[in-house]
């Protein structure tokens, strides 16, 4: 059984979707959880649900692209929960004005926003959390949610994919820099996952099509990614660092072209 008893976890972007599932699962495993979200009502809803289930959580409102907000998140977590053992970076995505279109149609503002939402904040939160972990001297674990778009080319994903590729490389670099301090840093690349942010994109027709392309014949759920997070932050992964785990139902293992006679 995986246990995170006496551990403190920050879930950056924990107010819905993958972040919510991860916050609840880590709390069930015994961690005290700081649920961080740019929308205070989302953080409060998830933290309240965790508390009602008999576990410990606090809500924190923060704009993770702002250094002052990140510093306040770290300070609040340490003061209230007693330190930091785990950081899970889930926030990301694209602003509504950064459409899923080809790169030539993007403005500099849209590009900068994609980098800020998906890479800059990971730098800020990792820098702040690692500083605390070093001071505590008891190691720690970080999991960054990347994307299959950061490891493979994809039409209309250039800005988002480039930022997520940066997350993958940053993960490896931090693992090398801080492994001797007992700090493990890993990433997860989800495939298509049904979250509040993706439901408007993944129509029923797209979901049906995806089922035919994925060996496991289904679209992922937030809990699928949360389970991988729990493994990576636990002692069961004590010798795992600098890795990017694909959690995609097997989509990335298939030959990319149609194979005649294969259903």
For the CA atoms of 106, 109, 115, 118, the dihedral, rounded to the nearest 10 degrees, stands at -90
Q: Show which residues are catalytic.
A: 160
In the structure encoding, which two tokens stand for residue 17, read together? Answer: 């979707």
For residues 41 and 50, what is the distance between their CA atoms, to the nearest angstrom?
14
- The CA distance from 75 to 131, in Å, is 12
For 151-219, the DSSP string reads TS--TT-HHHHHHHHHHHHHHHHHHHHHGGGTEEEEEEEE-SB--TTTTTTS-HHHHHHHHHHSTT-S-
């Amino acid at each position: 059984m995986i246990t995170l008893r006496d551990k403190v976890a920050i879930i950056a972007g924990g107010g819905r979707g993958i972040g919510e599932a991860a916050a609840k699962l880590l709390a069930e495993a015994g961690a005290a959880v700081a649920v961080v979200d740019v929308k205070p009502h989302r953080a409060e809803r998830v933290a309240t649900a965790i508390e009602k289930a008999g576990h410990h959580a606090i809500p924190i409102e923060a704009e993770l692209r702002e250094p002052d907000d990140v510093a306040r998140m770290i300070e609040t977590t340490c003061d209230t929960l007693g330190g930091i053992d785990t950081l899970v970076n889930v926030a990301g995505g694209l602003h509504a004005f950064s459409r899923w279109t080809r790169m030539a149609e993007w403005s500099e503002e849209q590009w900068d926003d994609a980098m800020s939402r998906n890479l800059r904040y990971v730098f800020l939160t990792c820098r702040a959390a690692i500083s605390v972990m070093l001071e505590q001297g008891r190691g720690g674990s970080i999991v960054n949610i990347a994307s299959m778009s950061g490891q493979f080319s994809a039409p209309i994903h250039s800005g988002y994919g480039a930022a997520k590729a940066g997350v993958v490389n940053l993960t490896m670099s931090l693992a090398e820099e801080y492994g001797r301090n007992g700090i493990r840093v890993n990433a997860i690349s989800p495939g298509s996952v049904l979250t509040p942010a993706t439901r408007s994109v993944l129509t029923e027709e797209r979901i049906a099509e995806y089922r035919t392309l994925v060996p496991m014949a289904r679209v992922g759920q937030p809990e699928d990614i949360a389970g991988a997070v729990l493994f990576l932050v636990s002692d069961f992964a004590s010798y795992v660092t600098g890795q990017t785990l694909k959690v995609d139902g097997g989509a990335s293992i298939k030959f990319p072209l149609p194979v005649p006679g294969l259903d």
